[in-house]
Chains A and B, each alone.
Chain A
Amino acid sequence: MKRTPLDAVHREAAARMVDFGGWEMPLHYGSQLEEHHAVRRDAGLFDVSHMRVVDVRGGEARAFLRRALANDVGRLATPGRALYSCMLADDGGVLDDLIVYLVRDDFFRAVVNAATAEKDVAWLESLRARWAMDVAIEPRGDLAILALQGPRALERLAQALPAVGAVAGTLAPFSASHVADFMVARTGYTGEDGFEIVMPAAQAVSTWRSLVAAGARPCGLAARDTLRLEAGMNLYGQDMDAATSPYDAGLDWTVDLRGERDFVGREAILARGARRERVGLALLDAAGVLRAHQDVFAGEEHVGEVTSGTFSPTLGRSIALARVRRGIAPGSVVQVAVRGKRLAARVVKPAFVRHGKSLLPPEEAP
């Protein structure tokens, strides 16, 4: 099992550790609910060093990524701008989702998921060979990544790392800048303001400690999951995978079909069409929790299944992402098979909480 540069720090804090994509990661440091609330109300700190930075460099880096990714890095005009994209297989299945930053015109930096990192690099290498393009693909195992998230993230960052904080405060959402050995990006996976900070592994422990000393609360993967679900963000391997078209996973907005750009998977996803879609579900019953793989019904018709479900700490009831056939309208009520019972759930747009506030229609608000 792989361990991040912060492993000893997590153990010292009595974190409950768990296997996540081959990495031993903190699940929580005592209470995932308290960690969740810390991010919604103040600032939480996550070790996300299991995610892999992959640098793509060379004169043809832009042209290469325009062919390799479903979203168009051609949109990235200014250094520091970031783009969310799927990387598709030839058959249109989602190999991974990632964020790619423009560092310089011949230097792009992608951040990919932990469990898929090795396959991703091998896939990119195979594309480089297929197209005989002049790019170097470099996985950066020498870097650590911390995510500092919450309404007071900037304040905590400025206190702990003044130089990084000064630059971070000027960043627009979804952009990044370099400060000495650090890259700081105004991105995250929680629906709150916040930052993802990339640094040399050797600086991870001191950076973590100074952020905690400044008041950021250590948070584990359990809170990360409830936060991203409230924010309506997909988790790779759960809400989509190599068998899923981005159109079936609510990722239509990330597939850029403008112009004639030929990217891997384009023809396949267009031929496959959009058969299913991603919806949000808010359980109407006060008790019960929606969980992955539960079946969803409209009347007696089986229309799909839950892909991620949880108890929402912010809303005080269960929410879920589900993949259903097209045509299940927001506002309608479906039934979900929960432990032998059919429980009623409202179909909603798949974002439940943003900046600490409920996005549910007023009649559904807790």
Chain B
Amino acid sequence: MKLPQDLRYTESHEWVRREADGTVAIGITDHAQGELGDIVFVEPPQPGRKVKAGEAVGVVESVKAASDIYAPVAGEIVAANAELSTSPERVNADAFGAWIYRLRPDDPSQVERLLDAEGYRKAASS
């Protein structure tokens, strides 16, 4: 399982990258894209929306199935990756590069409590 060490992860198969400006970028893991197969739509949340930790905020749809994407921590949506609306297959090609949305956490310390690569590896393979 390919897992960058510098990212945080959720049990619902999101990855979380801490950015220099205090926001976090969120996408789905390589494992998740492999399970979904060819992705045909990505519906990210609207910037400006306030979300709770664990709230379903968007959808990734493959030919096979629809899968919700969740907010890893509470905060405000600050950006959505417009490129994915025309090229959703980028998520298949480079899951850890294709961020879906960015969020400004209400409490940045919550991000540190998410799973690390090893924790996610165990969660995803159990």
Which residue of A28, A289, A291, A339 contacts B40 across the interface (Cβ within 8 Å)?
A: A289
Interface string of B45-84 (1 = CB under 8 A from A): 0000000000000010101111000000000000000000
Interface pair A289/B41, CB less than 8 Å apart? yes
Interface pair B41/A287, CB less than 8 Å apart? yes
Interface pair A226/B63, CB less than 8 Å apart? yes
Which residue of A28, A33, A311 contacts B61 across the interface (Cβ within 8 Å)?
A: A311
Q: Which residues of A contact B37 (CB under 8 A)?
A: 16, 27-28, 32, 222
Which residue of A222, A288, A339 contacts B64 across the interface (Cβ within 8 Å)?
A: A222
- A78 interface residue, CB < 8 Å from B? no
Interface pair B63/A339, CB less than 8 Å apart? no
Interface pair A289/B38, CB less than 8 Å apart? no
A-B contacts counted at CB < 8 A amount to 36
Main secondary structure of the interface of A (DSSP, over half): mixed
CA distance A291 to B43 in the complex (A): 17
CA distance A313 to B62 in the complex (A): 11
Closest to B40 in A: A311
Interface pair B66/A291, CB less than 8 Å apart? yes
- Interface set, chain A 184-237, CB cutoff 8 A to B: 222, 226
Interface pair A222/B66, CB less than 8 Å apart? no
CB distance from A233 to the nearest CB of B (A): 17
CB distance from B97 to the nearest CB of A (A): 18
CB distance from A326 to the nearest CB of B (A): 30
Interface pair A33/B63, CB less than 8 Å apart? yes
9 new A-B contacts, CB < 8 A, other than A289-B66, A311-B41, are A16-B34, A16-B37, A31-B38, A32-B38, A32-B63, A33-B38, A222-B37, A287-B41, A339-B66
Complex A-B: 5 CB contacts under 8 Å: A16-B34, A222-B37, A222-B64, A289-B40, A339-B66
